Amino acid sequence: MFDIKTPEPDQLLNREMSWLEFNQRVLNQAQDTSNPLLERVKFLAITGSNLDEFFMVRIGSLQILIGSKHERPDVTGFRPQKLLQVAGDRVRRLMREQYDCFEKLQTTLRHHGIAQLDPEQWTRKQTVFLRHWFDENVVSVLSPVAIDLQQNFPLLNDSEMALAVQLDWQPEQMLGGDWKTDLSTLADDQRPSRRFAILPLGRKLDRFVNVPVDGGHGYVLLEAVVKKFVGEFFPGQAIRDCVAFRITRNADMRVDEDGAFDLLHGMQEILAERRESSCVRLEIESGADPATREFLMQCLQVDELHVFETAGPVRLKDWFRIASLPGFDGLRFDAWSPQESPHFSVDRNIFDVIRESDRILIHPYQVYDPVVRFIEAAADDPDVLAIKQTLYRTSSRSQIVQALQRAAQNQKHVTAIVELKARFDEERNIKWARSLETAGVNVIYGVRGLKTHSKICIVVRKDPDGLRHYCHIATGNYNEATATLYSDISYFTCNDVIGSDAINFFNAVTGMSIPQPMQKMSMAPLGLRQRILEMINVEVQNAASDAPSGIRLKVNSLVDPMIIGALYKASQAGVPVELNVRGICCLRPGVPGLSERITVTSIVDRYLEHSRIFYFHHGGDRRVFISSADMMARNLDRRIELLVPIEDESCRRRLLEVLDYYFQDNVKAKRLMPDGSYVPVPTSDQEFHCQKQLYRYAVQQRSEQFSAETSMFHPHRRDTELGIFS
């Protein structure tokens, strides 16, 4: 390994603060009036969802460090308590922008016939309708929980909305004058002047209540309806205050794999613990009575650092529902229908297609169907002997999982590595693991101490000339739903060496054996970081000898100090380094003497950028890789990841074209400054919109293929193997 100097604290951007800047860029899309209105609403909902995860994981982690008296600063010099404060201040600034954006969107939505109606706007007819709806749907479903003097607070689910109701104390209205405590024994000046009740709103009632309006779409928020008629739960009692709130619980919990006899059981225990974990954020509507606010803080055992007032409705992520309202297509992006690949025609045997040549698909611009067909064909093909596959995140109705079940039922050897530790997908993966086992699949629950994050499927098939390993390796999950929303790369090959590496990979993971050296691929945590560092070092050496050099990396996150240090060294040696980092980036670009030859851009657009592509000039022998790994310590040290070289010239050329698109974007791209801020990429006379160009290319490819197909006659021929005409 070549000598790498660990970056000093002031040479790195803080991870948490960089993540918040990413969410700011998502919010910028909600603020961008050039985006269609409902797409802006969707981006705003994404910022809410992102912040939820930030608190559950990153703030939850800080809270654990603080609770354990951890005082050691991180690599950027922040101690946990200070970072909690700084991050909280940044979140509050972000929230102010969120709710300012929310109000502007509400105004514009009303102009387009989508109106959220507040109680003061209800007509008499709407009030009567909502009162009837409340009586029919709410009164018998919701149950208030009175809080006694011991503050017997109800267990609220993570992110569950509730109302805090403050009432005047009227002891003569209580049965027998008793309220959990015999108040008759208290002096008048000791009796409470007010009491509280919590009204959980649950998840079964729709938050958006449709109301009759003259044209367009009108809705009222559930909490507004319940607040309006909340007196029905407390007849004869004076209500001083009624505000909506919710809590966010710490989700940064890990199963003790050394002490867990059964990982499946251990994960179920973790899920149960999350339901009762500590509160890391209390969100409450602004304008709450100070006594209500203080009451909630005491009950939930949080201080001011963990309290966040909202200048509007809590839980903004619910506005995904409004963004997906039917009948308003004119307020959305023009539809980009995924295009069929010119190579994967449905009337061709998919194994013949892969045997002809390696193939690349660019999702979601090209359909995900060939990936599903690959596994379905393997399940039904009598010549297929075995299927081995990793599953990290899957869809709720996964055709791929169903195909694996069918393959096992068809007496094929099927092995699935189902990662139970995939955060927030644990329950779904437990369900799929059990159903796969029931079907006869050999299920492996990941690897002790590591997450299996690689995305690979091997089909072992008996071809006329012998056994062959057909591989699909990807940057994205085997999830048909997110494949239409995330930009990812699929790579199909039956290269003998790649196939041999893939078999060694599965044997090591499933057989608890010592991993054998790989010939082409690299695997984390054993050799992936080393391979990247070696490739960077080649560029450093070439630049030192005045030979051409260059590095281009497209990743989701760049955090690992060793990789950052190597890139700094490359810059200092004269290597031009171009980075496209969607989210967190701890590298400071453009610092004289340190990183002046490094540029970092980020693209936030209609599709979530998820693919990882690495390019090294390598003395003109261009090296291109795809990977499941980001440049983070967790990926390189605590996950099983794969780095795969793309050596087929056609596939390599296509990926280089894709990289060109990403580094040409001047419509959605933002450039990272040395201080951690982002600015728009300078525009030229001609706009270049990366995602739009990728889609146009896919359309062009399909159009050219269609023209070629319609200009030729294709006679039916007898299939000698199946005995039918094809």
Active-site residue 453, yes or no? yes
Q: Which residue has the tokens 């050329």?
A: 653
Q: What are phi and psi of 479, to 5 degrees?
A: -135, 105
Torsion of Cα atoms, 365 then 368 then 371 then 376, to 10°: -160
Token digits of residue 273: 């613990």
CA 351, CA 461: separation in Å to the nearest integer? 9
Q: Which of the following is catalytic: 453, 469, 472, 610? A: 453
Task: Give 600's strand partners.
Answer: 579
Give the β-pairing of 669-672 and 678-680.
antiparallel
Give the β-pairing of 456-463 and 466-474.
antiparallel
Q: Which stretches of 280-328 are DSSP H helices?
A: 290-300, 320-323
Token digits of residue 250: 């710490």
Backbone CA torsion sign across 232, 235, 236, 240: negative
At 102, is the secondary structure helix, strand, or coil?
Answer: helix
CA 418, CA 394: separation in Å to the nearest integer? 10
Token digits of residue 117: 């109606």
Residues in the chain: 726
Token digits of residue 597: 């030859």
> Please, what's the largest Cα pairwise distance for the chain?
100
At 319, is the secondary structure helix, strand, or coil?
Answer: helix
Listing from the earlier edge strand, what are the strands of the sheet with 114-116?
A: 114-116, 217-221, 208-211
Give the residue from 591, 597, 624, 594 showing the smallest Cα distance to 543: 597
| Residue 536: partners with Cβ closer than 8 Å, 6 or more residues away | 551, 563, 566, 567, 569, 570, 616
Q: Report which residue type is found at 701.
A: Q
Angle between helices 15-31 and 80-111 (to 10 degrees): 10
351-355 contacts at long range (C-beta below 8 A, 24 or more positions apart): 351/377, 351/381, 351/459, 351/461, 351/463, 351/470, 351/494, 353/492, 354/470, 354/492, 354/493, 354/494, 355/463, 355/468, 355/470, 355/494
CA 344, CA 322: separation in Å to the nearest integer? 37
CA 705, CA 380: separation in Å to the nearest integer? 28
Token digits of residue 61: 């982690």
Put residue 365 in one of left, alpha, beta given phi > 0 → left and psi -120 to 50 → alpha: alpha
Give the residue from 143, 147, 174, 177 showing the smallest Cα distance to 237: 174
Token digits of residue 257: 């794999």
Q: Please spell the DSSP secondary structure of 269-289, one letter per residue.
A: HHHHHHTTPPEEEEEEETT--
Token digits of residue 396: 């709720």
Task: Give 599's Cβ-side CA count (13 Å radius).
Answer: 14
Question: Which residues are the active-site residues?
Answer: 453
